[in-house]
Structure 1
Amino acid sequence: MTDYRVAKGEAQEDQVTAAIEKVTSQIPSSIYLAAAVASIAGSIGFKIAKKDHLALFVGQWVAPFLILGTYNKLVKLHGSDGTKA
């Protein structure tokens, strides 16, 4: 069986990705968590107001905010490539 995994240092991110991550890594992780909690609260509010479609729409923002926060934390810990020591 062939091993298709990429070894550390085998591939590098481009400069556009590095530039974006340099800017976005300045955002505190708590902002992403606050955005997720606000989405939950907004969704509940819309559900109480009987606006079910809007409640579902806003409620679906929670997972992307948490994923962005996790990605942000990984970039802060490991950098863009994780190849620089």
Structure 2
Amino acid sequence: MDWNLEGDTRVKPGEAEEGKITAYIESYTSKVPSGFYLAAAIASIAASVSFKIAKKDHAALFVGQWVAPFLILGIYNKQVKLHGSDANVQTR
């Protein structure tokens, strides 16, 4: 492996492609409305608060940690919808 960091080492559009498995998964997950991920995050917050009120601290922490992944998945889902799976595939 060449660790020479001189010059431009960034990946340019069209230089690398997504795998077939990623494209297959994205073809299904992109059909999920973006609001689903936001609703899941809000539901996780509500469930976490409910567990905390019920003095179930471990469950509250566990469910509360789901909020960030749901929001990140929502952002990823939105990016796939707006920009597609691959930078080198232009459908417009």
TM-score normalized by structure 2?
0.88
> Which moved further from structure 2: 1-10 or 65-74?
1-10
Q: Which runs of 5+ in 1 are unaligned?
A: none
State which of 47, 52, 68 in structure 2 corresponds to 1:42: 47
State which of 10, 22, 27 in structure 1 corresponds to 2:27: 22
Q: Which runs of 5+ in 2 are unaligned?
A: 1-5
Tell me by how many angstroms 1:69 deviates: 0.2
Of structures 1 and 2, the larger Rg is shown by: 2
More helix by share: 1
State which of 49, 53, 56 in structure 1 corresponds to 2:58: 53
SS of 2:21's equivalent?
helix
Tell me by how many angstroms 1:64 deviates: 0.1
Match of 1:32 in 2: 37
Partner Cα distance (1:20, 1:55) in 2: 30
Partner Cα distance (1:9, 1:71) in 2: 19
Q: Report the identity percentage.
A: 68
Tell me how many residue pairs correspond in the alignment: 85
Is 1:63 matched up with 2:68?
A: yes
Partner Cα distance (1:3, 1:43) in 2: 46
Partner Cα distance (2:10, 2:28) in 1: 29
Partner Cα distance (2:25, 2:35) in 1: 19
